[in-house]
């Protein structure tokens, strides 16, 4: 079976930096995705890493280390609107388009 | 986005009754998925489809069935609803060319 571990909650102040870690144990690995979900809303895609290294998209960056089965999502210059749940998800095979999701990290941004 | 919709958005039903949730997409995406979301569990895959009449089970498929007779519609049926199936259900779509899944707005189902 597959297992993805991420912290359940993180709290930070506006303007701060938050790092959400995700460690995974899966039978295969093709790529790691991150999704954001606001309370009452649908998950929306943030980023995807298939290769080791850092991918930057505006204030958000995502990192992957395949050798360590580890990735993280970095949220910079936190804003109140970043208060949401963040999920990591693994795609296990190139020809398998299913995702296995972690339980999610709730980020609370305080003024 | 309006490219994927779910109906109904909310439903309350009694234990033992059949329930069908509908997912409709207008993007001609090949892959469609049904997930359930419960506190502490994230999103768990129930069933998925990789084309018309091609479906397969996910990790929590017991008690659920699906059908896909047209590209745009993916139906999830609870044959005999139980209280443990009270959840928020999300439909999603994707293509082989993209690693991104697009989610519908969700259906909140309560089984009493």
Question: Distance between CA atoms of B71 and B59, rounded to whole angstroms?
Answer: 23
Model confidence at B15: pLDDT above 90: yes
Query: For A1-29, what is the mean pLDDT?
Result: 94
Q: Are B83 and B15 in contact (CB under 8 A)?
A: yes
User: At CB < 8 A and 24+ separation, what contacts does B51-55 make?
Assistant: none
Q: Which two tokens stand for residue A65?
A: 């280390």
Work out the mean pLDDT of chain A and round it to a whole number.
94
Count of other CB atoms within 10 angstroms of residue B72: 17
> CA-CA distance, B60 to B85, in Å (whole number)?
11
Distance from CA of A79 to the nearest CA of B (A): 23
Residue percentage of chain B with pLDDT more than 90: 88
C-alpha span between A99 and A81 (Å, rounded) = 26
In 3D space, the residue among B108, B89, B109, B105 whose CA is nearest the CA of residue B3 turns out to be: B105
CB of A51 less than 8 A from some CB of B: no
* pLDDT tens digit sequence for B40-90: 888 999 999 999 999 999 999 999 999 999 999 999 999 999 999 999 999
* A-to-B residue pairs, Cβ atoms closer than 8 angstroms: 47
The answer, yes or no, to whether residue B2 has pLDDT greater than 70, is no
Long-range contacts of B49-57 (CB under 8 A, 24+ apart): B49/B74, B50/A97
Residue B60 Cα, gap to closest chain A Cα (Å):
12
Report the gap between the CA of B70 and the closest CA in chain A (Å).
19
Tell me the pLDDT of chain B averaged across its residues.
95
Residue B40, CA distances (Å) to A98, A111, B104 in order: 20, 26, 21
Q: Coil, strand or helix: which one is B105?
A: coil
User: Is pLDDT of B1 > 60?
Assistant: no
Nearest CA in chain A to B91: A42
Angle at A9 between CA A41 and CA B101, to 5 degrees: 40
Residue A32's pLDDT band (cuts 50, 70, 90): very high
The residues near B67 (Cβ < 8 Å, ≥ 6 apart) are: B55, B74, B75, B77
Which are the contacts of B49, defined by CB distance < 8 A and separation ≥ 6?
Answer: B31, B32, B33, B55, B56, B66, B68, B74
The stretch B10-25 carries a mean pLDDT of 98
pLDDT-based confidence at residue A97 (cuts at 50, 70, 90): confident
């Amino acid at each position: 079976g597959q297992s993805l571990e991420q912290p359940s909650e993180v709290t930070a102040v506006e303007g701060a930096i938050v790092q959400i870690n995700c460690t995974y144990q899966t039978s295969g690995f093709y790529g790691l995705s991150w999704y954001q979900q606001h309370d009452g809303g649908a998950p929306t895609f943030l980023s995807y890493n298939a290769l080791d290294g850092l991918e930057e998209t505006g204030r958000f960056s995502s990192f992957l280390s395949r050798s360590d089965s580890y990735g993280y999502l970095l949220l910079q210059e936190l804003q109140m609107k970043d208060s949401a749940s963040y999920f990591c998800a693994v795609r296990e095979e190139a020809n398998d388009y299913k995702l296995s999701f972690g339980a999610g990290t709730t980020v609370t941004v305080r003024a | 986005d309006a490219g994927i919709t779910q109906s109904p958005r909310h439903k309350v039903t009694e234990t033992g009754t059949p329930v069908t949730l509908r997912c409709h997409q207008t993007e001609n995406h090949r892959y469609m998925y049904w997930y359930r979301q419960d506190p502490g569990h994230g999103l768990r895959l129930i069933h998925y489809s990789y084309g018309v009449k091609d479906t397969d089970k996910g990790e929590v498929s017991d008690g659920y069935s699906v059908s896909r007779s047209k590209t745009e519609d993916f139906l999830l049926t609870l044959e005999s609803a139980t209280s443990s199936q009270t959840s928020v259900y999300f439909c999603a779509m994707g293509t082989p060319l993209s690693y991104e899944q697009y989610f519908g707005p969700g259906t909140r189902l309560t089984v009493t």
